[in-house]
Amino acid sequence: MAMRKVAVVGAGMTKFMRRAQETGRELAFQASRMALDSCEMTLDDIDAVALGTAPDAFDGLHMKGEYLSDGAGAWHKPYMRCYVGGGTGVFAAIQGWYHVASGLFDTCLVVCEEKMSSCQPHPQGAFITIFDHTTERALKPNLVWIFALEMNRYMTVHGIEKKDIARVAVKNKRNALDHPCAQLAADITVEDVLNSEVLAWPVQRLDISPTSDGAVAIVMAAEHVAKRITDKPAWVRGVGWSLDTAYWTSRDLYYPKYVEYAARMAYDMAGITEPRKEIHVVEPYDPFDYKELHHLEGLLLADKGDAARLTAEGVTARDGNMPVCPSGGMLGVGNPIAAAGLMKVSEIFWQLRGEAGKRQVPGQPQTGLAQSWGDLMQVGCVVILGV
Amino acid sequence: MSANIENFPGTPLSQADFDEGKILTTHWKPKLEYGWDAGVAISRYLAELKNGRLIGIKCNRCRRTVVPPRVVCEWCWEPMEAWVYLEDTGTVNTFSICYIRWDATRAKEPQIPAVIEIDGASRGAGILHLLDEVNADDVTIGMKVQAVWKPAEERSGSITDIKYFRPT
Ligand SMILES: [Zn+2]
């Protein structure tokens, strides 16, 4: 494929908050401005804007992409909003990548925003429309069902106990103590997780990420521009995405095959044949603690059913052999859906440039991977960056 | 960048900010109504539920029988036309014991949603439904269950014509 090299050259984010005073548009502006400032660029340097944000129902705004466009700096520019559920944040980076890789644009500002707090009494009410209107919604489901059903299937097929999964929540919330934007950073124990309120067994309060307001933005540039802007570009080495069927009760939920397909696409593009050796830092999607394990397996970074052992042995700790969610992940930093996915790309960018401060993983990582997941447990999106 | 920045933007609000009237908000309650057509495949499914039967559909290419029925096999992208009556029994593929309602408020009694693989459909092909007449602690993956139907005169052609599944 005759595609151009593309780099991430700047990133910015707001705090992740339970409820922000700012509107979504204001949050988008704050993150976008910070991303441009970080690489000493102005909006005049930006050829196109890619925006990711989750369902309009959260905000009660029809055509939220258009509403957010002013904050995202899209005025009179080629602009498009993408949406693939929880996968949106990483997909938005993929969209920015192909805008530039194709040769159509030299630079692209990628902005992801979410304001979940507007939805009353709880954004779960907006999530109910994910279920099939005739065959499922009559049963009055709630969103946590699908995670609980998937988590139980995963645990039972592999014989994994809750305490083995709870270690992920402990690790990520502790990692988040070093993130200046974190909403739910905490020093907790496995016992705290196991004793927290049961929402939908096996899902308990501390297994789950919060709902959040927040925004993240990155700047992507073609090679000749990137080299002018910075001496530390983080190159996009591979991207991949894949979608499984919406007939989720017809698949075995114990393994996210679509994540594997997305990962294989990205590894192939990056020329990575041994991901466990070649990926030095990982930010998999962790809206629930078991999802980090599930996704490490789908990403082929752990054998099926073995990711919990890696966690127990400290392999995935920030100073372990394969640091996972050194940012603190969504469990610790927060989960403003689309923004959370792009936060993961930003974290890899900062880690590879050695700019992650107290969160920095040791050993000067050269290659990192960010992954997001969503819809009806059916979409996987992967971006691999390298320096 | 990240490490070099001291103050990240964003203004977190607390409950006190609202209680003390520091924050202005606008409320709106949408009134939305939809009438969903069941479609070709699900219309037959619902009609059979009203008859007290479960029906699935088979793909003549991959030989898979699935439920709920659909007009296209997502694997083969071929039309599905071979209707197959199924048993009203099955196996629990996975389940949860749920203590919260759709709006995240606490439920009085837990519900037990489950994916149930239906006998007569291909292995792994299941539907979402609820379990009852069982102690939540006794439910296991692999448990055999059977549909408990509403009386014929109360059935309306809905997935709720099955009240729930119970252990056999
Ligand atoms: Zn087929």
Give the mean model confidence (pLDDT) for residues B132-148. 97
Q: Could you tell me if residue B133 is inside a domain?
A: yes
List pLDDT tens digits, range A76-113.
999 999 999 999 999 999 999 999 999 999 999 999 99
Q: How far apart (Å, rounded) are the C-alpha atoms in residues A35 and A49?
A: 13
- Amino acid making up residue B157: G
**Which is higher by pLDDT, A237 or B103?**
A237
For residue B74, which residues of chain A lie inside 8 Å, CB to CB? 245, 247
Q: For residue B56, what are the domain limits? A: 39-167
The structural domains of chain A, with segments of one domain joined by +, span: 6-121+210-386
Sign of CA dihedral A147, A126, A74, B13: negative
Q: Does A75 touch chain B (CB under 8 A)?
A: no
Which residues on adjacent β-strands are paired with residue A368?
A281, A385
Computed over every residue of chain A, the mean pLDDT equals: 96
> What is the count of structural domains for chain B?
1
Q: Does A15 touch chain B (CB under 8 A)?
A: yes
Residue A158, H or E segment = helix A143-158
Give the residue from A50, A360, A349 showing the smallest Cα distance to A226.
A349
List pLDDT tens digits, range A191-208.
999 999 999 999 999 999
Structure tokens at A340: 């959370």
List pLDDT tens digits, range A270-312.
999 999 999 999 999 999 999 999 999 999 999 999 999 999 9
CA distances from A237 to A50, A181, A348 (A): 19, 27, 13
Q: Does A205 touch chain B (CB under 8 A)?
A: no
Closest CA–CA distance from residue B15 to any residue of chain A (Å): 9
Q: Could you tell me if residue B11 is inside a domain?
A: no
Q: Which residues touch B36 (CB under 8 Å, ≥6 apart)?
A: A133, A134
- Residue A113 confidence (pLDDT): 97
For residue B164, which residues of chain A lie inside 8 Å, CB to CB? none
Closest CA–CA distance from residue A21 to any residue of chain B (Å): 6
pLDDT of residue B2 exceeding 70: no
Give the residue from A117, A170, A87, A102 showing the smallest Cα distance to A345.
A87
Q: Could you tell me if residue B24 is inside a domain?
A: no
pLDDT of residue B110 exceeding 60: yes
pLDDT of residue A1 exceeding 70: no
Q: Which CATH architecture has domain A6-121+210-386?
A: 3-Layer(aba) Sandwich (3.40)
Q: How far apart (Å, rounded) are the C-alpha atoms in residues A268 and A271?
A: 5
- Residue A313 confidence (pLDDT): 98
Closest CA–CA distance from residue A161 to any residue of chain B (Å): 15
Q: Could you tell me if residue B124 is inside a domain?
A: yes
Exposed e or buried b per residue across A116-128, where buried means at least 16 C-beta atoms within 10 angstroms of its C-beta: bbbbeebbbbbbb
Q: How far apart (Å, rounded) are the C-alpha atoms in residues A170 and A162?
A: 12
Whether the Cβ atoms of residue A124 and residue A118 lie closer than 8 Å to each other: no
- Residue A223 confidence (pLDDT): 98
* B1–A360 CB contact, under 8 Å: no
pLDDT of residue A262 exceeding 60: yes
Interface test with B, best of A15, A26, A134 (most B CBs within 10 A): A134
Put simply, the chain A residues between 283 and 342 with a CB less than 8 A from any chain B CB are none
* B94–A145 CB contact, under 8 Å: no
- Binned at pLDDT 50, 70 and 90, residue B1 comes out as low
Q: Is the peptide bond before A202 cis (omega within 30 degrees of 0)?
A: yes
Q: Does A247 touch chain B (CB under 8 A)?
A: yes
Q: Could you tell me if residue B136 is inside a domain?
A: yes
Give the residue from B159, B44, B167 showing the smallest Cα distance to A140.
B159
- Residue A124 confidence (pLDDT): 79
Give the mean model confidence (pLDDT) for residues B48-52. 98
* A133–B36 CB contact, under 8 Å: yes
For residue A252, which residues of chain B lie inside 8 Å, CB to CB? 93, 124
Nearest by CB to B8, which of A134, A153, A181? A181
Q: How far apart (Å, rounded) are the C-alpha atoms in residues A286 and A169?
A: 9
Q: Could you tell me if residue B127 is inside a domain?
A: yes
Q: How far apart (Å, rounded) are the C-alpha atoms in residues A118 and A312?
A: 38
Q: How would you classify residue A76: left for phi > 0, otherwise alpha for psi between -120 and 50, otherwise beta?
A: left
* A249–B126 CB contact, under 8 Å: yes
Q: Could you tell me if residue B106 is inside a domain?
A: yes
Give the mean model confidence (pLDDT) for residues B86-113. 92
B166 C-alpha to ligand 1 centroid (Å): 31
Poorest-confidence range of A113-117, A120-124, A363-367, B111-115? A120-124
Q: Which residues touch A40 (CB under 8 Å, ≥6 apart)?
A: A229
* A128–B102 CB contact, under 8 Å: yes
Q: How far apart (Å, rounded) are the C-alpha atoms in residues A337 and A83?
A: 11
Q: Which residues touch B92 (CB under 8 Å, ≥6 apart)?
A: B114, B115, B116, B117, B131, B139, B140, B141, B142, B143, B145
- Residue B18 confidence (pLDDT): 86
Q: Which residue of A has its CA nearest to B49?
A: A135
Q: How many CB pairs under 8 A join A and B?
A: 178
Interface test with B, best of A250, A346, A361 (most B CBs within 10 A): A250
* A134–B130 CB contact, under 8 Å: no
A239 C-alpha to ligand 1 centroid (Å): 29
Closest CA–CA distance from residue A248 to any residue of chain B (Å): 9
Q: Which residue of B has its CA nearest to A358?
A: B3
- Binned at pLDDT 50, 70 and 90, residue A66 comes out as very high
Q: Could you tell me if residue B3 is inside a domain?
A: no
Closest CA–CA distance from residue A99 to any residue of chain B (Å): 25
Alpha helices in A220-336 (DSSP H): 223-229, 257-270, 275-278, 289-298, 307-312, 329-332
* A360–B160 CB contact, under 8 Å: no
Q: Does A17 touch chain B (CB under 8 A)?
A: yes
Interface test with A, best of B4, B67, B102, B103 (most A CBs within 10 A): B102
Whether the Cβ atoms of residue A381 and residue A87 lie closer than 8 Å to each other: yes
For residue A199, which residues of chain B lie inside 8 Å, CB to CB? 98-100
DSSP strand pairing (A367-374 vs A213-222): unpaired
Distance of CA A144 to the CA centre of its chain: 19
Q: The pTM is what?
A: 0.96
- Binned at pLDDT 50, 70 and 90, residue B126 comes out as very high
Structure tokens at B157: 């052609």
Q: How far apart (Å, rounded) are the C-alpha atoms in residues A203 and A333?
A: 19
